[in-house]
């Protein structure tokens, strides 16, 4: 599902160039669940952004869900992001004035709307166990429920791959456990999951843990 070969990414820092990723190789099978760990600043978010088509300034071969990302146009990258990957962040980024359902369907907020949009949002909320709370505002939900809404939003377009950047980073231990349970359900449903994390529970639940160190994965 994911194939990365010789991925390098550097940033310009004044006159110098800082090489963050220096030849990352990674292969993730369809339906696999991989955790990425590494110290702060080791490039985990940078790697996730490349995998999610949010960053095109890299060198190397990156293929995700049968899409080769190197050299894609901005339009093609936008389509890739809309169809192939869902993103979950540490912060939930929910719109306070919108219901859970409208937050989930936000990717199509300016689209045609209609029954299909609502049905798909409800399906996504059911997948994270929130089928009965579609009408709630974020302020009427617990922290764990808010993160579940954010996960449902990432699933709205039914992507095959879920990319998560420290998805339990803002949650207490018990709530983190609740979110790990959601990922376990999604994994059982066949989703491919790549999750950057510091959290022991999330690492333990993944099938494989890889470490980013000195710009490479091991
Ligand atoms: N847009 C950017 N411009 C310049 N440097 C960046 C940018 N994004 C990240 N970096 C640098 O790249 C390194 C890795 O960052 P990041 O991928 O966020 O690490 P992690 O997620 O593992 O903490 C850090 O030194 C960070 O300062
Ligand atoms: Mg990070």
Q: Is the same domain home to 75 and 149?
A: no
Q: Is the same domain home to 71 and 26?
A: yes
Ligand 1 centre distance from Cα of residue 41 (Å):
6
Q: Is the same domain home to 110 and 176?
A: no
From the alpha carbon of 42, which atom of ligand 1 is closest?
A: 22
Ligand 1 centre distance from Cα of residue 19 (Å):
10
From the alpha carbon of 40, which atom of ligand 1 is closest?
A: 23
What confidence score (pLDDT) does residue 127 get? 96
Q: Is residue 89 part of a domain?
A: no
Q: Is residue 182 part of a domain?
A: yes
Number of domains composing the chain: 2
The CATH number that applies at residue 32 is 3.40.50.300
Q: Is the same domain home to 13 and 32?
A: yes
Give the residue, out of 16, 20, 167, with the most ligand 1 atoms within 8 A of its beta carbon, to mutate for a pocket test: 20
Ligand 1 centre distance from Cα of residue 203 (Å):
22
Ligand 2 centre distance from Cα of residue 44 (Å):
5
Residues in the chain predicted with pLDDT less than 50, given as ranges, are none
197 lines ligand 1 (CB under 6 A): no
Q: Which of 158, 177, 201 is the last residue of a domain?
A: 158
> Which protein residues have a CB closer than 5 Å to ligand 2 (ion)?
44-45
Q: Is the same domain home to 144 and 36?
A: no
CA distances, 33 to each of 46, 74, 89, 129, 169 (Å): 19, 28, 17, 20, 18
What is the pTM (predicted TM-score) of this model?
0.95
Q: Which of 123, 158, 193 is the last residue of a domain?
A: 158
Q: Is the same domain home to 217 and 148?
A: no
Q: Model confidence over 39-49: pLDDT tens digits?
A: 999 999 999 99
What confidence score (pLDDT) does residue 115 get? 73
Residue nearest to atom 25 of ligand 1 (CA): 41
Q: Is the same domain home to 125 and 213?
A: no
Q: Is the same domain home to 31 and 67?
A: yes
Give the strand pairing for 59-64 and 33-37. Answer: unpaired
What confidence score (pLDDT) does residue 117 get? 87
Nearest ligand to residue 57 Cα: 1
pLDDT mean across residues, the chain: 95
Q: Is the same domain home to 24 and 65?
A: yes
Domain range for 50 is 1-84+159-218
Ligand 1 centre distance from Cα of residue 42 (Å):
8
Q: Is the same domain home to 104 and 205?
A: no
Phi, psi for 68 (deg, rounded to 5): -80, 120
CB 36 within 8 Å of CB 97: no
Q: Is the same domain home to 79 and 168?
A: yes
Q: Model confidence over 104-126: pLDDT tens digits?
A: 998 776 665 667 889 999 999 99
Q: Count of residues for the chain?
A: 218
């Amino acid at each position: 599902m994911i194939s990365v070969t010789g991925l390098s990414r550097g940033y310009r820092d004044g006159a110098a160039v800082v090489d963050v990723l220096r030849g990352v190789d990674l292969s993730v099978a369809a339906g696999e669940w991989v955790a990425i760990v590494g110290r702060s600043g080791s490039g985990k978010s940078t790697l996730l952004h490349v995998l999610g088509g949010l960053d095109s300034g890299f060198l190397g071969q990156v293929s995700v869900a049968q899409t080769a990302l190197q050299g894609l146009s901005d339009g093609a990258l936008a389509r890739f992001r809309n169809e192939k990957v869902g993103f979950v962040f540490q912060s939930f980024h929910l719109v306070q004035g919108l219901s859970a359902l409208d937050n989930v369907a936000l990717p199509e907020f300016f689209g045609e709307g209609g029954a299909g949009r609502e049905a798909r949002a409800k399906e996504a909320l059911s997948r994270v166990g929130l089928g009965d709370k579609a009408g709630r505002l974020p302020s009427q939900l617990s922290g764990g429920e808010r993160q579940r809404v954010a996960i449902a939003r990432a699933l709205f377009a039914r992507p095959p791959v879920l990319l998560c950047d420290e998805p339990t980073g803002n949650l207490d231990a018990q709530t983190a456990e609740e979110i790990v349970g959601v990922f376990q359900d999604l994994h059982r449903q066949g989703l491919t999951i790549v999750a950057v994390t510091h959290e022991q529970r999330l690492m333990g639940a993944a099938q494989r843990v890889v470490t980013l160190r000195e710009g490479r994965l091991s």
